[in-house]
Amino acid sequence: MIWNVRYSDRFKCHSLIDKVWSMDNLVLAWKHVRANKGSAGMDNISVGEFEKDIDKHLHTIQRQLRQNRYAPEPVKRIYILKNSGKKRQLGVPTVKDRIVQQALRQVIEPIFEETFLEENYGYRPRKSTIDAINRVRTYIWDENCSRVVDMDIKGFFDNVDHEILLDLVNEKISDGRVLKLIRLFLESGVMEDGKYLDVSKGTPQGGVISPLLSNIYLHHLDRRLHDRGITFVRYADDIVILSEKTRDVRRALNLARMILEEDLKLKLNEEKTSVFRITTKRGLEYLGYHIFLKKIQPTFSSLQRFKDKVRYLTRRKQGKSAVTVIKRLNPVIRGWGNYYKHTTIKKKYWDLDFWIQRRIRSYIKKRWWWTDVKRIPTKQLFKMGLLTLESVMEIPRSLLWRDFAKSKRSDVSRMREIRMYGSEGGRRA
């Protein structure tokens, strides 16, 4: 008896492979791959080189899929540094394999989207990290769910069991050739330093279809928790369980651990998994945000990474004009500001704007910031095209000036205010 038989649909989707290899679907898949760009796979053929003879390539892919002769190439393994300093493995498929993965995803993703729960925000259409963060904030601030479990799955993408994953896909799809195609991608292997490595488990991060497969895999955890009435939010393998009572979140953690170990053959990273209460001083770090009981702000590591990027782009020993440096800096300011525009502490971003402007002035003057760099007016920097976090995040000037004034109060006036009006400060309406 199949372990997940009670979740299998009575009427499954079949005869899907012809939709995968249809030319319209392949052309649409190619447009997605071209838009995402990306580096070359193990065959060293870039997206630009592949495009030179795209019609021939697409017809070759279609013929191989139709004749059941398609065989994906091994992925090229590369490493990127994580925030912790450790290295994360990525698998880069060839452009040809990315097109087939995208074509397959376009066909099967709508089938599974109908079953995914609202608590799942990762890699889904019309859902984002900000949606997940706002949902967690709503639970904490509005529904008093201040007891949380911050779960971390140990090496999730490296430990996905292929047979369990195919069983979960088979709940909705009965087309044997589609299932075979997914298996071929899972077992295509890895090329590292010119050596082929066989792969018996895991789904490579970097593949087009990997996010969908990871959602299918962890959807089993979602539905088991949902059936028990547990409040949680999941973005990929970042899972938060919330409740009003510590006892309830501990029970939910034990249930989640049992589901992961017995059904999905995964383990929790016990060192990084924690149960605690969110207060005004201790918050939850989730997807780059630090969520407290009454405020939300970027994590310290996110802020430091942003400042490190600014420092690198404004380093003095580079032979570029100030206008060129500002053009390279603006996308960093715009991207960081747009992602963190939902925070409640606004004065920090005015301080960052002031710090960035000092860096630009220092670059122009080719000297340290404390040596008379204020001679360059801020308006001149704006004329050169410099963006500000204030403008990107649409922070009201009145709010900034109020916070600035508060930060300049003397200790004596602050003590007088506390005696008269309490620790909150200021007269209340």
pLDDT, one tens digit per residue, over 333-366 is: 999 999 998 888 777 888 899 999 989 988 887 7
Between 59-73, 189-203, 373-387, the lowest mean confidence (pLDDT) is in 373-387
Give the pairing of strands 190-192 and 75-81.
parallel
Three-point CA angle 126, 132, 389, nearest 5°: 90
Q: Which of 207, 215, 244 is nearest to 73 (CA)?
A: 207
State the average pLDDT over residues 53-64.
96
Which SS3 state, helix, strand or coil, does residue 31 take?
helix
* Terminal Cα distance for the chain, rounded: 68
The one-letter amino acid code at 174 reads S
List beta partners, residue 291: 284, 296
pLDDT of residue 395: 63
Specify whether the CB–CB gap between 255 and 224 falls below 8 A. yes
Which SS3 state, helix, strand or coil, does residue 425 take?
coil
* Res. 372 pLDDT band, cuts 50 70 90: low
List beta partners, residue 283: none
Q: What is the dihedral of CA 192, 198, 201, 205, to 10 degrees?
A: 30
Most confident of 188-192, 225-229, 403-407: 225-229
Three-point CA angle 195, 197, 203, nearest 5°: 135
Please give the distance of CA 379 from its chain centroid, rounded to a whole number: 36
Quick one: tokens of 299?
A: 């994590």
Percent of the chain's residues with pLDDT above 70: 88
Q: What is the dihedral of CA 211, 215, 216, 221, to 10 degrees?
A: 150
* Res. 411 pLDDT band, cuts 50 70 90: very low
pLDDT, one tens digit per residue, over 33-52 is: 999 988 899 999 999 999 99
The one-letter amino acid code at 113 reads E
pLDDT of residue 192: 87
* Res. 418 pLDDT band, cuts 50 70 90: very low
Q: How many whole angstroms separate alpha carbon 357 and alpha carbon 314?
A: 10
The mean predicted confidence, pLDDT, of the chain is 87
pLDDT of residue 71: 94
pLDDT of residue 3: 67
Between 112-116, 187-191, 256-260, 413-417, the lowest mean confidence (pLDDT) is in 413-417
Walk across the sheet containing 195-197 and list its strands.
Answer: 87-92, 75-81, 190-192, 195-197
**Residue 282: Cβ-neighbour burial (10 angstroms; 0-12, 13-18, 19+):** exposed
pLDDT, one tens digit per residue, over 227-246 is: 999 999 999 999 999 999 99
Residue 419 has pLDDT above 60, yes or no: no
